[in-house]
Amino acid sequence: SNRSSTEGRRSSVSSEGDDPSLDNTNVSETGSLSIIVLGASGDLAKKKTFPALFNLYQQECLTTLVLRITSLDEGAAPGISLQGTRCMQGFLQSNEVHIFGYARTKISDEELRDRIRGHLLQSKNSSSGSRESEDAAKFLQLVKYISGAYDGEEGFRLLDTAIYEHEVSKNTQDGSSRRLFYLALPPSVYPSVFRMIKLFCMNKCRRLGRIVVEKPFGKDLKSAEALSGQIGELFGEEQIYRIDHYLGKELVQNLLVLRFANRFFYPLWNRDNIDSIQIVFREDFGTEGRGGYFDEYGIIRDIIQNHLIQVLCLVAMEKPVSLTPEHIRDEKVKVLQSVVPIKDEEVVLGQYEGYKDDPTVPNDSNTPTFATVVLRIHNERWEGVPFVLKAGKALNSRKAEIRVQFKEVPGDIFKCKKQGRNEFVIRLQPSEAMYMKLTVKQPGLQMSTTQSELDLSYQQRYQGVQIPEAYERLILDTLVYYNSVYFECDCITCRKKCQTDKFDHVNHQEAWEIFTPMLHRIDDGKLKPILYKQGSRGPVEADELLGKAGYMQT
């Protein structure tokens, strides 16, 4: 392999395209890559960001500078780009990549490594144990930790110095280093962190600095707009990536293909045939050490306004003109604009017993850890079909799924004992699957009916295929686009932001518009959560609401 080869690298890049960094014709051939995880002491960083970086490291994706997309046309759809990835050109040596963790907690490099080590190997195949551990040890040597405040000059200067020392040691010229800042932080600290990065950490990388921000982007419509304004004053749009990791999940990515590449669904996917659609997120653990972040946001801002609403858009939208991000976004926005105001009687909020035992949660917290909300889409396709969005923590299982329930067959001639409604279930996790519940003849002499399934379980059907973690896909997409500015590449896709990692402004704000009135009523204590037991299904009132929305247990 020629992993250390610089062959194929180009120092001059085309000045075409709308990314200003494409104009940078003095780009060094030796620019190193620094990935800076802010909030490195937190839950997201340890459970998802570092493991995703490790997986990318193992697949040598962090050191691959250009992934040319060959098999799909321009503007590939979310994540599909990766399946079309071929023809890798240009490499960094693995020690030219460095990862910096930053947070307030005072810990050493080694202590941070100890916190994340276990999570790196969690999803790994135990049979390749020793190789995995060796790789993890090598990866962890690339990780350095700096402690500092989110609003103080000192910490960010230290961070800048640490990154710079690394860059100098790799002969990176000023202005040519790539720094990717990943904000694994509560949005309340974004404004000061944006400012600090801009003031103290961007001078040496100029326009080759990138910022990745997590959901929720703001707390309501007004704060999201203010945040957009603040980030927009400091960074060019081409430098900002807003991510929603649900868009990187395999079966979420599959939604467009499923709906628009199969004849079956086309005539059925509407109000004439579908009775209700549920989009459900359940977790069997509570807020566990994240009370400080969670209590300020609650389940609607944490899960429903972003993850579930993105899924809803892909389920409900019309066929886009093409797979370009702009066309997909246009269709999503139309769905969101068609959602009618939520009625209080179509909301059930819950809070699990014991939530307030967390010392970081105030005793009088009104924050919901569970919510069921019925959304109604006022358009030709969906009028009258309830979209039930449900999310909860500390429930009886961990699962995320979409349940599309069809109407009954008119004029039943079989006198089914149990009315068999067809239901199409897309299980996003765990164990990705799609199955269709249907009525069949009970095998045997008599003519009676029973419910059965057409089942496409990914583990069985795609044995040996490693399904990438959502964050792997998103971070890789960020790097693919990012790195591509260093090279001439005849593929237009490389000059555009991949959509996977883009949580678009417009649909983001539309989503806030839907939830803001209800969120303010919760914040003001006018809507209150009902207590539910940990390990339960949530408040019984939520199941009653589901029943009123017409859902029948099949």
* Residue 428 engages ligand NDP in binding (rule: CB under 6 A): no
| Residue 193 makes contact with ligand BG6 by CB under 6 A | no
Q: How far is the CB of 544 from ligand BG6 (least distance, A)?
A: 26
Q: Is there binding between residue 302 and ligand BG6 (CB under 6 A)?
A: yes
The two structure tokens encoding residue 17 = 């395209």
Residue 549: φ, ψ to 5°: -75, -5
Four-CA torsion 45, 48, 52, 54, nearest 10 degrees: 60
Residue nearest ligand NDP (C-beta atom):
42
* Interface residue with ligand NDP, options 67, 103, 256, 300 (CB under 6 A): 103
- What are the percentages of helix, strand and coil residues in the chain, rounded to 5? 40, 20, 40
Q: How does 191-220 read in b/e, with b if 16+ C-beta sit within 10 Å? A: bebbbbbbebbbebbebbbbbbbbbbbbbb
Looking at residues 368 to 427 of the shown chain, list those that interact with ligand BG6 (rule: CB under 6 A).
Answer: 400
Only one residue has tokens 């326009």, namely: 207
Comparing CB distances to ligand NDP, the nearer of 189 and 416 is 189
**245 or 495, CB closer to ligand BG6?**
245
Nearer to ligand NDP, 167 or 302 (CB): 302
Q: Which stretch binds ligand NDP (CB under 6 A): 36-44, 58-66, 391-399, 546-554?
A: 36-44
88 closest CA partner among 57, 118, 116, 67: 67
Choose which of 215, 219, 329, 502 interacts with ligand NDP (CB under 6 A): 215
**Alpha-carbon span 31 to 26, nearest angstrom:** 11
The reply to whether 189 sits near ligand NDP by the rule CB under 6 A is: yes
By beta-carbon distance, which residue lies closest to ligand BG6?
302
Q: Which of 185, 193, 212, 402 binds ligand NDP (CB under 6 A)?
A: 185
Q: How many CB atoms lie within 10 A of CB 424?
A: 22
- Dist CA 479 CA 161 (whole Å): 23
Q: Which does 99 bind (CB under 5 to 8 A by kind): ligand NDP, ligand BG6, none?
A: none
Which of 17, 28, 29, 43 contacts ligand NDP by CB under 6 A?
A: 43
Looking at the Cβ atoms of 258 and 280, the one nearer to ligand NDP is 280
Q: Which residues participate in catalysis according to the annotation?
A: 307
* HEC letters along 20-72: HHHHCCCCCCCCCEEEEEECCCCHHHHHHHHHHHHHHHHCCCCCEEEEEECCC
Is 251 a residue that touches ligand BG6 (CB under 6 A)?
no
66 binds ligand NDP (CB under 6 A): no
Among residues 212, 273, 192, 267, which one has the least CA distance to residue 53?
A: 212
CB-based contact 103:42 (threshold 8 Å)? yes
Give me the residues that bind ligand NDP (CB under 6 A), please: 39, 41-45, 47-48, 103-105, 150, 184-189, 214-216, 245, 290, 292-293, 302
Give me the residues that bind ligand BG6 (CB under 6 A), please: 245, 283, 302, 400
